[in-house]
Amino acid sequence: MPAPFLHRQRGRRPAPLAALLAAWAGLIALWLGLQASPWILAPLALATLPALRDVIADPRATLTLDDTRLHWQSGRREGTLALAKIEQARFHTAWDFSVLVSFRMRDGRNVQLPPDIRPPHRLFEDALATRGVATVRHHFTLRSHRAGRDG
């Protein structure tokens, strides 16, 4: 019996914080160095607000996989899937190189793992395969992953 797979993620991580600081430094450099108009910089600064909210609020996301179920929680979103009801786990590499995960259930439903709960995909794929869940990988397809089509 393998040990449970556990993945925890926080909103206050070094990479988003560094990206936020770099974006603000770039905006300040444009303002001071090139005298860019505040009307041009304001929409760019507004685009950083979701990242700022994540850094301040520090949302937590947790995914647990044991021998019988997969459970995740992120903010108010929560889900549990019985492994016996999963027909296939699908790992879709998007054009931005992020890996989205969805589950095709035996009853025909498709359940998408929320994107803010992204365990390292190779480790997660191995953990699912160890527990007998079939996995399939799709790279850079043009078909809609969210619609649950084969790609």
**Backbone region of residue 114 per phi and psi (left: phi > 0; alpha: psi in -120 to 50; beta: other values):** beta
Residues 6+ apart with CB under 8 A from 47: none
Model confidence over 63-80: pLDDT tens digits? 999 999 999 998 788 899
Contact 74, 17 (CB under 8 A): no
Q: What is the pLDDT of residue 80?
A: 92
What does pLDDT average to over the chain? 85
Residue 107 binned pLDDT confidence (cut-offs 50, 70, 90): very high
134 and 74 in a common domain:
yes
Q: What is the pTM of this model?
A: 0.66
Q: Which domain does 27 fall in, by range?
A: 11-57
Q: What is the pLDDT of residue 141?
A: 65
3-state helix/strand/coil string of 111-122: EECCCCCCCCHH
Model confidence over 10-50: pLDDT tens digits? 777 788 788 899 999 999 999 998 888 889 899 999 999 98
Q: What is the pLDDT of residue 148?
A: 47
**For the chain, percent helix, then strand, then coil, each to nearest 5?**
35, 30, 35
What average pLDDT does the segment 101-125 reach? 89
Q: 135-139 and 110-112 as β-strands: parallel, antiparallel, unpaired?
A: unpaired
Tell whether the model's pLDDT for residue 99 goes beyond 70: yes
Contact 34, 28 (CB under 8 A): no
95 and 76 in a common domain:
yes
CA distance 96 to 108: 28
Residues 6+ apart with CB under 8 A from 49: none
115 and 78 in a common domain:
yes
83 and 17 in a common domain:
no
Out of 57, 77, 93, a domain closes at: 57
64 and 30 in a common domain:
no
Contact 81, 70 (CB under 8 A): yes
Count structural domains, the chain.
2
CATH number reported for the structural domain that contains residue 69 in this entry = 2.30.29.30
Q: What is the pLDDT of residue 142?
A: 61
User: Within 10 Å of residue 71's Cβ, how many Cβ atoms?
Assistant: 13
